[in-house]
Amino acid sequence: MRSIDVVILISGRGSNMEALLKSIHSGVIQANVLAVISNKPTALGLETAKRFGTECIVEENLDNLDSVLTTYSPDLICLAGFMRILPPNITAKYTIMNIHPSLLPLYPGLRAPNQAIKAKAKYSGCTVHFVEEGVDTGPIILQAVVPVLDSDTPEILADRILGQEHIIYSQAVNAFIQGRLSRTPV
């Protein structure tokens, strides 16, 4: 299996980033993480990435992000809780995956588990998709279904969904590496 160069973008605690790093360090995913980039200097995920020996960069200005990414020239960018909308010059130039806590196209944007509960949905889940200019748009790669229980709060549902996110994100990256799916920037 070939290996690829990856950059991971985060804004917070980085649990999906950590799951990807664990899969990479254990050999489940054949990839080299060039850097973890955060738009927030206080993102807890930066400390996690450092524990894995990963280079960490803080870039708060999206206007400077393309020049930072250009220095790495990644094969794939993984958004792992990156809470900013990428500008078109980046989405057009790079192959980018994102993980979202709903069965897209349902409940895009923020607080997806809250949206599912409010809609009285019987099922929710998570989606790995390629990133385009829109918010949580782009071709769907993989989804996992999670039942919405009557006793669920948004936090409890989000935690159950997160467990599935950690699984399917690695599966999607592996499918990309193995050539079972491809996405070149438009």
Instruction: Report whether 3 contacts 32 (CB < 8 A).
Output: yes
Please give the Cα distance from 100 to 81 (Å, whole number).
8
CA atoms within 13 Å, Cβ hemisphere of 6: 27
Q: Note if 100 is an active site residue.
A: yes
Rg, the chain, Cα only: 16
Is the preceding peptide bond at 185 cis, omega within 30 degrees of 0? Answer: no
Please give the Cα distance from 74 to 163 (Å, whole number).
27
CA triple 92-80-66, angle to 5 deg: 35
- Cα(first)–Cα(last) distance of the chain, in Å? 26
Residue 21 backbone phi and psi in degrees, to 5: -60, -40
**Which residue among 25, 100, 129, 166 is the active-site one?**
100
DSSP 57-98: EE---HHHHHHHHHHH--SEEEESS--SPPPHHHHTTS-EEE
Active-site positions read 100
